[in-house]
Structure 1
């Protein structure tokens, strides 16, 4: 339960997480058209620009997200989360009036630096929740994020009918409204005695890997998890451009499909995994999950039409059970005093793949849709993703035989 008088504050937290999730999803259907308008090229050029924007945003988050958390430990939650929400609104306003790719690049850089609002929102929720209800609180926050991820692409696909900038304007208005709501209802939740001294020492996520070498038998599995994450990020960076290039989908069709994918993943990650892991065990879920991912990505690469793409999205989504099963297995094999290090390493792997994959995969898409390509093959990035998961599967199976 919430501590006395805290429900309005928790409502602000839920809205914050929802708006951030909507803001990320709402731009996906519209970005191809916007980048074509501003860049003046074809859909392949737009994908390359999009990959650079994702790369910059992910890199800034990779570098600055730990700093944002430490700032909230020193200055308090309220100023940091309100500032982050205000910057989120400013970023969307910049996207609304942007006249060049450079404008978009600056906007995404600023958004990446101050974009980890969900992490601070989680901390606020924990501050105002009783200790025995924190798991329930986190579940409600996750649900708000899932709803936002589901709603965002549909909203973007609908709003783009009113212009390529309308989704960003709506996202900015929502963020500004929530900022004003927070000014009214959100006091400081961090007690003075719990504040920490702030230093400019930057946390180096990748550097933590070297401190984890004492559990050497896990490193191949961590590497396999990185490859898996690298492949998964192909969908986020390429799928929209691919469907518009190959199937001539509209923004609304793309929005519906992305929401379908999000809904499938929410169902599978939230419900199916509770059945699959107890019955099959983590190892089998990981292996069969990656096999289904390979089937899904290969199907994406060669799907002759949109209906085939939707069909192959089913084994792909079911296969995504492999990622949480990976985490569960590694957590079971990690000593209690190393759980924090494990979590940091898993997050670092996912963040590093989020930086590298969009840049590589969008450039691959651009080449295989250009006149310079040896063969016209817009689905080639998905084939690369399938090969990556084959490698991850080999690493995993070999490690299971040696260590488990």
Structure 2
């Protein structure tokens, strides 16, 4: 398809199948979120060990996102998606059946290895969409996160009284069913020509793209800021308002509903009217103010105001970034570029939680104000983007193949 055309009916069917696969995958991920601290504590984990558990997952995602992206460029999107879903099921099974802290780490490390597949999903979308509707489908990926964070925590909270392992094993079973569904229905997207570019040349092409480099830095700052909110919000609610895990789960659901509504519906019309760049700037500005305001709200009712606005800001900024960077790819380097781009976010999720914990120990408002500062830095980097350079770089020459 041309870069400006809309997705064909066949492509749209494939995209909806992909989204259903991603949603099921993310529901399983969301199930673990509200119970992870309690599950780790049951095996004697200290606060520092809990931080390492979170970091081990994000760290492996950081390392594996470009690897899976490059493999998908060479071998296809579908095989990588299938392998990572199957691996996720295995990782959750190990995590749910763990009888020691060591096996918890094994499960989360494997979960990070196989959970680094969102870059492949975004490359799949870019393969099948043109500029006209790409932002909409990138927004749908964001909405999939929203659905995962709506249903996942609710399911995890509902089943946790029966044992923390129960919702985790359910997530493992969902991943297994998801693998069977994807194997039966997901098709490889059509691309104009086979990918024969070597990994060194493709990686060099990514590194030399000034626009993509800036976008990766921007996404790192954005995700570092968001991770401050995500990591310490539950602990803040516990200390400030005496919230329990069940209360926290439903508050997270409210935030996710708002974000899913933005990314799943409004983002397409907004992007057509204002463009991705303006949405990126506006969303980041809204998020900066909202994050910084959260710790200073006197009641939960008043706190809902900046929480809702933080979801709105994230809902319009994040898919706009994904759409902008995807515009700077070719069919031959798309997986590599999106993998490298997502690795910036994964690195932020390694460093962000550790920084959030240290800041919270100093001042409870520290992580939230830091999140606001990160969004101001996002605005600063975004202001220096050369929008005229948003075009696919020339594809590097193929490397010699052995034999």
Q: TM-score, normalised by structure 1?
A: 0.73
Give the whole-Å Cα distance in 1 for the aligned partners of 2:186 and 2:348.
37
Give the whole-Å Cα distance in 1 for the aligned partners of 2:310 and 2:78.
40
What is the aligned partner in structure 2 of residue 36 from structure 1? Answer: 41
What is the aligned partner in structure 1 of residue 353 from structure 2? Answer: 358
Q: Which stretch of structure 1 is more off in the superposition, 232-241 or 115-124?
A: 115-124
2:193 corresponds to 1:212 = no
Give the whole-Å Cα distance in 1 for the aligned partners of 2:71 and 2:62.
16
Query: Residues 265 and 19 (structure 1 numbering): CA distance in 2 closer, same or farther, change over 3 Å?
Result: same
Asked if the contact 1:157–1:254 (Cα under 8 Å) also holds between the matched residues in 2, the reply is no
Give the whole-Å Cα distance in 2 for the aligned partners of 1:329 and 1:186.
29
Query: Residues 157 and 379 (structure 1 numbering): CA distance in 2 closer, same or farther, change over 3 Å?
Result: farther
Query: Residues 275 and 97 (structure 1 numbering): CA distance in 2 closer, same or farther, change over 3 Å?
Result: same
**1:386 maps to which of 365, 372, 378:** 372
Give the whole-Å Cα distance in 1 for the aligned partners of 2:206 and 2:126.
28
What is the aligned partner in structure 2 of residue 101 from structure 1? Answer: 101
2:317 corresponds to 1:322 = yes
1:143: Cα distance to partner? 5.7
Query: Residues 364 and 203 (structure 1 numbering): CA distance in 2 closer, same or farther, change over 3 Å?
Result: farther
| Structure whose CA Rg is larger | 1
Query: Residues 166 and 305 (structure 1 numbering): CA distance in 2 closer, same or farther, change over 3 Å?
Result: farther
1:124: Cα distance to partner? 7.8
1:126: Cα distance to partner? 9.4
What is the aligned partner in structure 2 of residue 266 from structure 1? Answer: 260
1:169: Cα distance to partner? 1.3
Give the whole-Å Cα distance in 2 for the aligned partners of 1:64 and 1:91.
15
| Equivalent residues in 2 for 1:5-404, closer than 5 Å | 13-41=18-46, 45=47, 48-71=48-71, 80-117=80-117, 146-181=146-181, 185=184, 210-213=207-210, 223-274=217-268, 276-277=270-271, 285-320=279-314, 321-326=316-321, 346-365=341-360, 367-368=361-362, 377-396=363-382, 399=384
Please list the CA deviations of residues 217-268 of structure 1 after superposition, one character each: whole Å capped at 9, or x if unmatched: x866764443222101223333233323332222222111112111111222
Asked if the contact 1:61–1:113 (Cα under 8 Å) also holds between the matched residues in 2, the reply is yes
Asked if the contact 1:12–1:181 (Cα under 8 Å) also holds between the matched residues in 2, the reply is no
Q: Which stretch of structure 1 is more off in the superposition, 48-57 or 261-270?
A: 48-57
1:21: Cα distance to partner? 0.5
1:162: Cα distance to partner? 1.8
Query: Residues 188 and 177 (structure 1 numbering): CA distance in 2 closer, same or farther, change over 3 Å?
Result: same
Give the whole-Å Cα distance in 2 for the aligned partners of 1:308 and 1:10.
39
What is the aligned partner in structure 2 of residue 373 from structure 1? Answer: none
1:355: Cα distance to partner? 2.8
Count residues with an aligned counterpart: 377
Query: Residues 156 and 142 (structure 1 numbering): CA distance in 2 closer, same or farther, change over 3 Å?
Result: same
Give the whole-Å Cα distance in 2 for the aligned partners of 1:288 and 1:125.
25
Asked if the contact 1:54–1:237 (Cα under 8 Å) also holds between the matched residues in 2, the reply is no
1:28: Cα distance to partner? 1.2
Asked if the contact 2:227–2:352 (Cα under 8 Å) also holds between the matched residues in 1, the reply is yes
1:356: Cα distance to partner? 2.1
Give the whole-Å Cα distance in 2 for the aligned partners of 1:400 and 1:73.
27
Give the whole-Å Cα distance in 2 for the aligned partners of 1:391 and 1:121.
28
Give the whole-Å Cα distance in 2 for the aligned partners of 1:188 and 1:286.
32
Give the whole-Å Cα distance in 1 for the aligned partners of 2:337 and 2:77.
26
The unaligned stretches of length 5 or more in structure 2 are 1-7, 390-403
Please list the CA deviations of residues 250-292 of structure 1 after superposition, one character each: whole Å capped at 9, or x if unmatched: 2222111112111111222344444555555656544443332
Q: Does the residue aligned with 1:378 lie in a helix, a strand or coil?
A: coil
Give the whole-Å Cα distance in 2 for the aligned partners of 1:186 and 1:400.
40
Give the superposed CA RMSD.
4.6
Give the whole-Å Cα distance in 2 for the aligned partners of 1:257 and 1:72.
37
Q: Does the residue aligned with 1:29 lie in a helix, a strand or coil?
A: helix
